[in-house]
Amino acid sequence: MPIVRDKDIEILFSASAIARRNLELAKEIAAREYHDLLVISILKGSFIFAADLIRAMHDTGLSPEVEFIFISSYGSGTTSGEVRVLRDIDNEVAGRDVLLIDDILESGKTLRYTRDLMMSRGARNVSIAVLLDKRNKRQTELQADFVGFECPDYFVVGYGMDVAHAFRELPFVGIVRGDA
């Protein structure tokens, strides 16, 4: 794999635009009456968004517990996707308010599976925060409670998201040139 520099990527959402939006999202989240809030970051793609969002939430006075779940979905998008838990959370969710954080809501399979899993474990309620929403790609009725940005129908990378394991470290969300 050649070294790929930032110039090969077209910026879609800048680092400063994302930071501003995270503060707004945190305020929207804080306006909900959550009790005993458990935040669950869906790995790998959401790790940077979750890290920034929970710190913005701290500034609004929220102090959630934080967990991570490693979900893999094969054939997401057009083919029938199989969703699996590769590494589960350690915490009890029964009776708790759960906020799932993911990078992108696309077909909805990943988040529907994860939401249903937490409901089946007795969560009091499950809400969803995503950085990006690709609404046109939805294959179920699922909607996020908190959406950073509507995302055009490109494959995006950066801010935690990868293509072939590259570009997660970019501080912005971008489109790989040639892909646009």
Q: Which residues bind Mg ion (CB under 5 A)?
A: 45
Nearest residue to ligand IMP, scored by beta-carbon proximity: 107
114 sits near ligand IMP (criterion: CB under 6 A): no
| Rounded distance between C-alpha atoms, residue 146 and residue 104, angstroms | 12
Which residue number, 57 or 104, has a Cβ lying nearer to ligand IMP?
104
Q: Which stretch binds ligand IMP (CB under 6 A): 28-36, 87-95, 108-116, 117-125?
A: 108-116
Which residue number, 70 or 124, has a Cβ lying nearer to ligand IMP?
70
- Contact predicate 125/97, CB 8 Å: yes
- What residues have CB less than 8 Å from 91, skipping those under 6 apart? 38, 65, 67
| Rounded distance between C-alpha atoms, residue 47 and residue 14, angstroms | 17
Return the amino acid letter for 32: R
Q: What angle do CA 4, 135, 74 make, to 5 degrees?
A: 60
Query: Minimal distance in Å, beta carbon 156 to ligand IMP?
Result: 4
> Could you say which of 52, 97, 103, 133 contacts ligand IMP (CB under 6 A)?
103
Query: Minimal distance in Å, beta carbon 25 to ligand IMP?
Result: 17
β pairing state of 9-13 and 173-176: antiparallel
Q: Which residues of the shown chain bind ligand IMP in the complex (CB under 6 A)?
A: 45, 73, 76-77, 102-110, 155-156, 161
